[in-house]
Amino acid sequence: MTLTTRKPPAVHYKRALITGISAYVAVTAALIGLFFLIAAIQHTGSYASPMKDPSYLLEEWLMPLANLLLWTAFALVYFGHRRDTAHPWSAEPLKLGALWLAMAIPLDFLDSVAIKSPEAMSAHDFYVGQAPWIYLVYAAVLISPVCAAAIRLWLQRRHGGQRQAPRLHDTARPASM
């Protein structure tokens, strides 16, 4: 009797980068929209520094939650092509979270510190002034694939382990004559 072990699936880097960049853009757009919504509701003017803007300071504590929700949604998209469910603590969700975090940190630095714009901050304001929020955002990016894998596992168990209906590209080929 031979025991075979199933090798855990590797991270699909092309899919991971596409979903990761899409998540980053979606989070950025959503948070910009949220900022303008808060500013419109509060009727605040413009400030010289985002760290002094009351709308930004209110938005800041919502950033970790928004990041967790959106990055988890994109992690569900990443895992959506698979029939099996990665266990939340398996290597793939953890590696995917680490890859996305390694991508998001330098993008944040470029977007918020290095590229000079009216919304740009100093490195001190970004890394110290935003504490603990920026670090909670990074934790959300890191754990979002784990959350997505846990959601998929829960849904699979809730539905009695039933497999999803085949997708168009998964349909069986007609029998050859």
pTM: 0.78
Over residues 37-87, the pLDDT tens digits come to 888 887 776 665 666 677 777 888 899 999 999 999 999 999 987 766 667
Regarding predicted confidence, which is higher, 164 or 137?
Answer: 137
Determine the pLDDT at residue 4: 53
CA-closest candidate to residue 100, choices 140, 45, 42, 131: 140
Determine the pLDDT at residue 177: 45
Angstrom distances, CA of residue 7 to CA of 4, 91, 92, 159, 165: 9, 11, 11, 25, 25
Reading the block at residue 32, the tokens are 């910009």
Over residues 123-132, the pLDDT tens digits come to 998 899 888 9
Regarding predicted confidence, which is higher, 118 or 141?
Answer: 141
Residues 6+ positions from 11 with CB-CB distance below 8 Å: 92, 95, 96, 99
